[in-house]
Amino acid sequence: MSKKQYGEQNGKEPPKGRLASLRGRLALRQDNGSQADYNTATPGWIAAAIIAVTKQGGAIQFGYSRDGGVYTIVILLDGEIEKNYVKQSEGIDAFLEGIYTAFTSGDGSE
């Protein structure tokens, strides 16, 4: 007697893992060119934002919306979480510069 496959036993295919699901979404949106991409950001602004937030004892996380069309930047500071969504049209560099300015103004940093 041969071993039954998952689909034969359950009448459906196994659920996709998170990584496989992400790869599927990435493949679908590569055609339309509306994907946000941190490669377009100036590396210096990314580094400046990281340094400014962490210098104040916070943490910063970079990601994308589910459809990949919007940048997501999450800042954790003093137990508070601030989620930011940045459209491509708003410009990621301008937003990162704003983070840097907000976190370094008044602390004596240049």
Q: Which domains does the chain have, with CATH numbers?
A: 34-104 (3.30.505)
Question: CA 87: distance to chain centroid?
Answer: 12
The model's pLDDT over 47-83, given as tens digits with 9 standing for 90+, comes to 999 999 999 999 999 999 988 889 999 999 999 999 9
Q: Phi then psi for 35, rounded to 5 degrees?
A: -85, 130
Task: Identify the residue whose tokens are 């790869």.
Answer: 23
- What's the pLDDT score for residue 109? 44
What is the pLDDT confidence band of residue 33, given thresholds at 50, 70 and 90? low
Q: pTM for the whole thing?
A: 0.67
Taking alpha carbons only, the member of 108, 102, 88 closest to residue 41 is 88
Query: CB neighbours of 93 closer than 8 A, spacing ≥ 6?
Result: 41, 42, 45
Computed over its alpha carbons, how large is the radius of gyration of the chain?
Answer: 20
